[in-house]
Every structure is written in C-alpha cells, then in structure tokens.
Amino acid sequence: MTISLVILAAGQGTRMNSDLPKVLHPVASSPLLHHAMAAGQALGPERTVVVVGHGGEQVAASARAFDPEVAIVEQTEQRGTAHAVAQAAPLLAEASGDLIVLYGDTPFIRPETLEAMRAARARHAIVVLGFHAADPGRYGRLVAQGEVLEKIVEFKDATPEERAITLCNSGVICMEAKLAFDLIAQVEPNNAAGEYYLTDLPALARARGLSAGVVLCDEAETMGINTRTELARAEAAFQARARTEALENGVTLTAPETVFFARDTVVGRDAVIGPNVFFGPGVTVESHAEIRSFCHLEGCHISKGATVGPFARLRPGAELAEDVHVGNFVEIKNAILDEGVKVGHLTYLGDAHVGEHTNIGAGTITCNYDGVMKHRTVIGKNAFIGSDTMLVAPVTIGDGALTASGSVITEDVPAEALALARARQVIKPGLAAKLFDRLRAIKAAKAKA
Ligand code: UD1
Ligand code: CA
C-alpha cells in the first residue's frame, strides 16, 4: 500500500528561546526535522509534505536540502494539529493509500515502529502510536481497552480520572489519507485550547462505526524537544544508543563515552575508533580502518585498512582509499587520496588528487585559494613531495616526481622529474660567531646606558 507522510513543523518552539526555528536545532549533527524525515523516508513514501509556519523559509530550505522532492505547505496561523494537517489536503486529498503524521520535533521514532503501525492498520481504520509515560505530564491521554482506542483526551480537557491514565499519545497517527481529510473537515475547535485537535480523529472515526487502535513504543522513542535542556538530553540519548549500536556491530570504541556520532555515520565491522573522535554528517568508515584519538571528521569516506590521526581533520569531500595513512595535524578537504598514500604530519590538502603510494612530506600545503577562486592540485602516483612544499594551484606533479623540501611549486612538474624551487644555500665561514659578538656588544652597551 502506498504511504504519504505529513510532517508538522510550523510551531514556534517558544521555549527554545532561540532565533532558530525549533525543528532546525541539531541532534547528532542533523536538524531535528531531518531525523523525522529520515524515519518517514525509510517507508518509501509516495509523497512527503512538510507543514511550515514559523521560520517557514528556513525550514523549507532545510527540508529540501534533505529531500529535494519534498512538498512544502505553509500554515500561516498555528490553529492546532488538525488544522496543520489540513494544509496538506490540496496535495493529498486524492492520494491513494495511507497517511502517516509525524512531528518535526520528535526525532527518534524508528522506521520499525512505523511499520508496526502500518501492520496494525489491517485491524483498525486509525492507528495511534502510544507509550506508557513515566511522568505523563501534559501529554494527551489514550482512553483504551487493550489495543482498542476509544478516544484521545488532551490534558487541558481531561477529567482527574483521565489525567491519572499513564498511556499517552505520541502524536504519530496512521490512517487512510482520504479518511483523514474527511474526518479533519469535521473537527471543531470546541476545547480548552480553542484549537483544531488532530487527536479528535479516533473518536470521530468511532462515531462512524470505524475502529481505532493503539500501537505501543518505548517512551524514549517519542521524546519530543521543547527546551534546550531536552535538546541536550536528546543528544545524550542519541549518542548512548549510537555507541551501543556501534559496539554491537563489531566496532571497537576504546572510550565509547567520548565518541560522538552523527545521525548518518556508518562504521564497518572491526573498525577501531580511539578516544575523543567526533563524527559530523556524512562519514563512512569501512571495516578494519582505524581512527585514532582526537579526530574531527565530516563528509568523508575512509576505506578499509586506512589509519587516520591522532589529531586529524577530514572535511567534506575527503576520500581515502584503502591503506591510506593520514597522521597528526593534517587537514584534508575535497581531496582524493588513492591507495597507500601517506600524509603523516602537519599538512593541508584541499581540492586535490593524490595518486597511489605517493608520500606527502611534513608541512606540505596545497595553496588552493588565490583569494578569489579555488584551484586544483593533481599529484601522480609514487611521487614524493618533500617536506614544506607549497603547491601553488593549479599545478600538476607527475608520476614518480620529487619536489625538494622547502620548494614553492608554481609550475607543473613532469613525471620522474626533480623540482627544486627554493634559494640555493650559501655558507659564510665564521660569520655566525662574528654576528653574535656584535649583538652581545650592542646588548652590553645598552645595559650600561
Ligand atoms: C500533541 C498532541 C498530544 C500529544 C503530544 C505529544 C494534539 C492536539 N495533541 O500535543 O496529544 O500527547 O502532541 O507530543 O495533537 N504544530 C503545527 N501547527 C499547529 C500546531 C502544532 O505545525 O497549528 C506542530 C508543532 O510544531 C509540533 C507538533 O505539531 O511539532 C505538535 O504540536 P504541539 O503544540 O507541540 O502539541 P502538544 O500540545 O505537545
Ligand atoms: Ca509538543
């Protein structure tokens, strides 16, 4: 059955006390919104609609960055969750199949949970995701008999008996799209908040003789973010889970509590991650690679058997082939390092391609930026870049070529050539001693005066 998704992201998030729309605050280096979109995308939806309001343009741009196909609708006034979903009606009213509503500020719903809800649709016209809350607070309460849901009561409208219920509404709901918009049209704002509640749908469905049901999930999964404290807690929860998953997947973490993963980090089996390693977005580490302590990685790919760090920084577009070694105080950006390349120390490689088994000496810099434009450096295979070589791009170093240390290379170097681009050394016998004598005499004269 086809699936459409509506992700609600119009709220202001006042309690974040922020200029940034709430759903754009990051957990695990991704906006909250992207977490929700990723969970939904795992179902292979026909269509995803994000409802934006506060900071609408920024939120829309972020949604499109995650999924260029996403549809955006604007809710200019936040009149409740049913009103928010109704904004998607022009796009989805005729959609075949089911509709799932997710919240942009609820990042941890697992695709497996959404699948369980779809499966429960075989038994119920409407399926709501519920959880047993340790502290039910102001959550909507599910009035249910076993799996059968009678109605959802919002906290503000609940009787003391209903408030005593600990089975709560996560906000995620699944039903046929046509039915959803049909029922939403019936929702009235006759409640304590004066809002159009999406939570009225189960009772409205039952009034038509349809069945509503509850699927349960862990409370940790439904964690919503409303404050900076909750954001920090969500980050901690994400990292705890990511570390456990990495360990279970056969990754060695020397000090798990000091490693920070991104939402999309992929680490292969038998990879070894040392202490204090930070993964930004878009990193893949293949199996048997080793990331030593204090590395900062984002947007990069580290192949099998490669070693990185300690103290290395890999930026977007860093592609390390098998058995590459990147050592301490090396920064790599938008550069491909072919198999067996060694970049041991104190180096910047940007906008470059380095051929296999080339050795990059300490202190090498690709001078890729002329103040206006970026330029490429191409280094062949089996080359040897002497320590402290400045490669002024655009420049090409041929296979098997050698640059003398301290060279400023501004012209292409042919294969197997030696390039020397530094001042010739001059020896002045005894001149150092004479110079020191003179300086000492000056210092002594100054001390007297
Ligand atoms: C909602 C549920 C409640 C549930 C809780 C779980 C309703 C009426 N109540 O309450 O049963 O226990 O979530 O967290 O649905 N939004 C819009 N436009 C609006 C209103 C809300 O886009 O007009 C978005 C918000 O940005 C947010 C989500 O919908 O992402 C939920 O809205 P919120 O106001 O936080 O609902 P709660 O009162 O928490
Ligand atoms: Ca909320």
Cβ of 173 below 6 Å from ligand 1: no
Cβ of 286 below 6 Å from ligand 1: no
Q: Determine contact, residues 346/390, Cβ cutoff 8 Å.
A: no
pLDDT in tens, 355-378: 999 999 999 999 999 999 999 999
Ligand 1 pocket test, candidate residues 49, 81, 151, most atoms within 8 A of CB? 81
How far does the centroid of ligand 1 lie from the alpha carbon of residue 325, in Å?
50
How far does the centroid of ligand 2 lie from the alpha carbon of residue 103, in Å?
9
Instruction: Determine the average pLDDT of the residues in 80-85.
Output: 98
**Other CB atoms within 10 A of residue 159 CB:** 9
- pLDDT at 94 > cutoff 90: no
Amino acid at 444: A
- 303's tokens: 């192949």
pLDDT in tens, 124-161: 999 999 999 999 999 999 999 999 999 999 999 999 99
The atom number, within ligand 1, closest to the CA of 51 reads 22
Same fold, 3-222 and 228-419: no
pLDDT in tens, 164-183: 999 999 999 999 999 999 99
Cβ of 154 below 6 Å from ligand 1: yes
CATH number of 3-222: 3.90.550.10
Instruction: Determine the average pLDDT of the residues in 96-108.
Output: 97
CATH class of 228-419: mainly beta
From the candidates 132, 288, 296, 345, give the one annotated as an active-site residue: 345
Ligand 1 pocket test, candidate residues 103, 105, 165, 227, most atoms within 8 A of CB? 103
Averaged pLDDT of the chain:
97
pLDDT in tens, 378-432: 999 999 999 999 999 999 999 999 999 999 999 999 999 999 999 999 999 999 9
Cβ of 21 below 6 Å from ligand 1: no
Ligand nearest to C-alpha 169 = 1
Distance CA 347, CA 249 (A): 33
Of 35, 196, 18, nearest to 104 by C-alpha is 35
pLDDT in tens, 422-436: 999 999 999 999 999
How far does the centroid of ligand 2 lie from the alpha carbon of residue 171, in Å?
9
pLDDT of residue 353: 98
How far does the centroid of ligand 1 lie from the alpha carbon of residue 10, in Å?
10
Q: Which protein residue's CA is at the shortest distance from atom 32 of ligand 1?
A: 81
Q: Determine contact, residues 27/235, Cβ cutoff 8 Å.
A: yes
Beta strands in 318-434 (DSSP E): 318-320, 325-337, 342-354, 359-360, 365-367, 377-379, 384-385, 390-392, 395-397, 402-403, 408-409, 418-419
Active site residue 345: yes
Amino acid at 369: Y
Ligand nearest to C-alpha 170 = 1
pLDDT of residue 12: 85
Instruction: Determine the average pLDDT of the residues in 74-81.
Output: 96
Instruction: Determine the average pLDDT of the residues in 98-105.
Output: 98
Domain ranges across the chain: 3-222, 228-419
How far does the centroid of ligand 1 lie from the alpha carbon of residue 166, in Å?
18
